[in-house]
Structure 1
């Protein structure tokens, strides 16, 4: 029993040189999903606030669908549902892509966080005072200059507190990766529970690890807020 516990403890935290640990897999999923979702959402948020309906509507539909359905269901559709289609299995690239639990999990996480972040950034853009836009236009800023120098920086600062919550929620969402047999923290904890029947110890260890990562992320965002939102803090 002790050997089993040591084995799973190493699988959670310590690499043997050939396999990634549960913590590394979880952080890897989080970083890739957040990086891709963040990048895509910047462009999509601009389209979301566009006055052109044909530009705005597809983005609205995307965010409506992915915010209106559970991430767990989205992962099941992407990992199990799509691969059951004859067209997917018959296409060389699509069959290769959707056969991997890692790739399906990342795709589901990216689409989900992108939908939420797009609406978050779009709301931040709408909250930018009209006077700032008019001042930029008066100075002769082009559309690209206005977005790159005024709108996007202001959007990112305004959305920072809410975006920190999205990152924490996405960390917790990575625990669904076990559905696609990805060996993240929860998957290893479940394996440990199945092998040792120590349910409380197995899942408590996983909970403590998630909590430590969450507090680290929260602390990092607090430091970022103090630096970039310093002008919003009350004068002492």
Structure 2
């Protein structure tokens, strides 16, 4: 095995790693925000809201992420240029890139999975704590912000960490829609040098390191946020 090729491709490797991390951060941050709304819609929303939220989660969790990505990229992506004036707008440089479609697809998919995690955590919060907050005169939004959501996040913290790791392992799918993430760079190296295992080993090590960092961060976070019985 030889890794001398890294000297020639290190800039591409760094750029690909940055794309991978950026894709992960965008999908997790915005997906988590969306998941909070979906979880509360299922737990405390009206019949129509609950039905729509459950339908969204069922559809996104029940279909492969790759198919969702391709439908969005090749389906919606082919329709965007038909919108009058869009090509001349400031948004076109973003909307024409595969990264945009990958980020949106990953965000929507992550939100569906995380919403189910948060839904279970919201239902697991002791009713006595919520009743105590209401007895103190807390408004619904204050109760959610100060008691219900923080307790649910604490309950779901280990699962949230695992979901982020799963999301990280899904990022190579972005390669299929022309995103130059780390896996795409490894494929380019393989095509240029005819090396098969070495580029994949580099990608594997990167994912292992990032997974270890995420796991360690969540263990420290769990230690810093004691659970209340």
Normalising by the residue count of structure 2, what TM-score does the alignment of the two structures yield?
Answer: 0.90
Moved over 4 A (4+): 1-5, 92-95
Q: Secondary structure at the match of 1:229?
A: coil
Gaps of 5+ in 2: none
State the shift of 1:10 in Å. Answer: 3.0
Bigger shift: 196-205 or 131-140? 131-140
Q: Secondary structure at the match of 2:180?
A: coil
Match of 1:18 in 2: none
Q: 1:169 & 1:93 partners in 2: Cα distance?
A: 38
Q: 1:64 & 1:180 partners in 2: Cα distance?
A: 25
Q: 2:222 & 2:55 partners in 1: Cα distance?
A: 32
State the shift of 1:229 in Å. Answer: 3.2
Match of 2:82 in 1: 90
Q: In the TM superposition, what are the counterparts of 1:1-236 in structure 2 within 5 Å?
A: 4-13=5-14, 21-85=15-79, 88-92=80-84, 96=92, 98-229=95-226
Relative distance call for 1:92 and 1:211 in structure 2 (3 A) is: farther
State the shift of 1:43 in Å. Answer: 1.8
Question: Do the aligned residues in 1 keep the contact of 2:38 with 2:115 (CA within 8 Å)?
Answer: yes
> What's the C-alpha RMSD, in Å, of the aligned pairs?
2.0
State the shift of 1:130 in Å. Answer: 1.5
Q: Secondary structure at the match of 1:182?
A: coil
Relative distance call for 1:202 and 1:215 in structure 2 (3 A) is: same
Q: 1:24 & 1:46 partners in 2: Cα distance?
A: 33
Gaps of 5+ in 1: 14-20
Question: Do the aligned residues in 2 keep the contact of 1:82 with 1:98 (CA within 8 Å)?
Answer: no
State the shift of 1:230 in Å. Answer: 5.4
Normalising by the residue count of structure 1, what TM-score does the alignment of the two structures yield?
Answer: 0.88
Q: 1:31 & 1:79 partners in 2: Cα distance?
A: 20
